Amino acid sequence: MALTAHPACRLAAGIVLGWCVAAPVHSATPEDARRAYEAGRFTDARGIWAELSRQGNAEAAFGIGLLYDLGNGTPENPQAAFFWYNIAARAGLPAAEFNIGALYDSGRGVAKDTADAALWYAKAAARGHHRAQFDLGQLYEQGDGVPKNPDAAAAWYRDAEQGGITAAGPRLKLLQPTRPAGPLVAAIPAFPTKNMTETLTSRNPAVELVWIAPAEPRPVHYEVWVGALGGDLRTVFTTTATETAVLAKLPETAGFYVWHADAVDETGSRAPGEWSWFSVGPSTPAQQSMAAGAETRQPAR
């Protein structure tokens, strides 16, 4: 499938639809839709995706969003694309999360909001989407929608470069490592925030943890911790990262969780991050099906 682009986005934000072959749903399969799309038979592809989306297939929802986004076989309608991308994103499809970020970044279909763009890029970046990593690095480099933070920009540029985004290398070399004076600054939780409810499935038992990272006077890493509340507070996930988002695998069962990300320098000094909390609710059969469609995708570049 040829690389396509959002107009007016940060680096001509590329969209590649990652396809998987699944068991037939009636007479149509994702492979049928892929072949129809690549052959330019957009009406046929849309019909297949519509059938699959009624079964809760996340890739089908993404495909319909793509048709509206690019105006393939239908008038261009970024508002409709935004709607369908959100359905796919709820199943953890990183390409859908990235495209939502690109819509916010360019102001297509929604009001331009680089803070929301940064959030959606971070969610996709945590799932390994290399173009999202690059675009989030740009936002941190420029201080657009997030604090200007060359360390955070460098962390995301390194990930993007390792993922094959050639433009990331030159951006790394151009970064100016200016630092503020003073003590370490606490990270601010951005997602999930207080009182949000997430839905996990056995095929997608993960939540993107995203925090806003102000510039620090010294290089830091982030120590991320998630605890489950029940009879007592028990640790269910920990990790260390230089980036500003991670993917946390959690128990699928419904529960109540708290989390934070502490900024820690090489001496062990730390700025404790603000605590936030969220709940996990039971998934529906449709959400289980969407997660099944998302599981076998490789992140688009």
pLDDT of residue 8: 42
- CB within 8 A of 34, min separation 6: which ones? 1, 17, 19, 45
Q: How far is CA 193 from CA 84, 182, 277, in A?
A: 23, 27, 6
pTM of this structure: 0.86
pLDDT at site 272 = 98
Query: What would the two tokens of residue 256 be?
Result: 């109540």
Predicted pLDDT at 295:
34
Give backbone dihedrals phi and psi of 191, rounded to 5 degrees, phi first.
-165, 135
Rounded Cα–Cα distance for residues 289 and 286 (Å): 5
Instruction: Check if the beta carbon of residue 283 is closer than 8 Å to that of residue 56.
Output: no
- Which CATH code fits 188-290? 2.60.40.10
Structural domain boundaries of the chain? Answer: 188-290
Residue 103's closest CA among 72, 153, 68, 57?
68
Residue 10 has pLDDT above 80, yes or no: no
What pLDDT, in 10s, does the model give residues 81-104? 999 999 999 999 999 999 999 999
Over residues 241-270, the pLDDT tens digits come to: 999 999 999 987 778 999 999 999 999 999
pLDDT of 26 reads: 47
With a pLDDT cut of 90, the percent of the chain lying above it is 73
pLDDT at 194 over 50: yes
Please answer whether residues 184 and 220 qualify as being in contact, where contact means their C-beta atoms are separated by less than 8 angstroms.
yes
Band (178; pLDDT cuts 50, 70, 90): confident
Residue 200: the pLDDT is: 81
- The predicted structure's pLDDT at residue 264: 98
pLDDT higher than 80, residue 22:
no
Mind listing the pLDDT tens digit for each residue in 118-172?
999 999 999 999 999 999 999 999 999 999 999 999 999 999 999 999 999 999 9
pLDDT of 13? 43
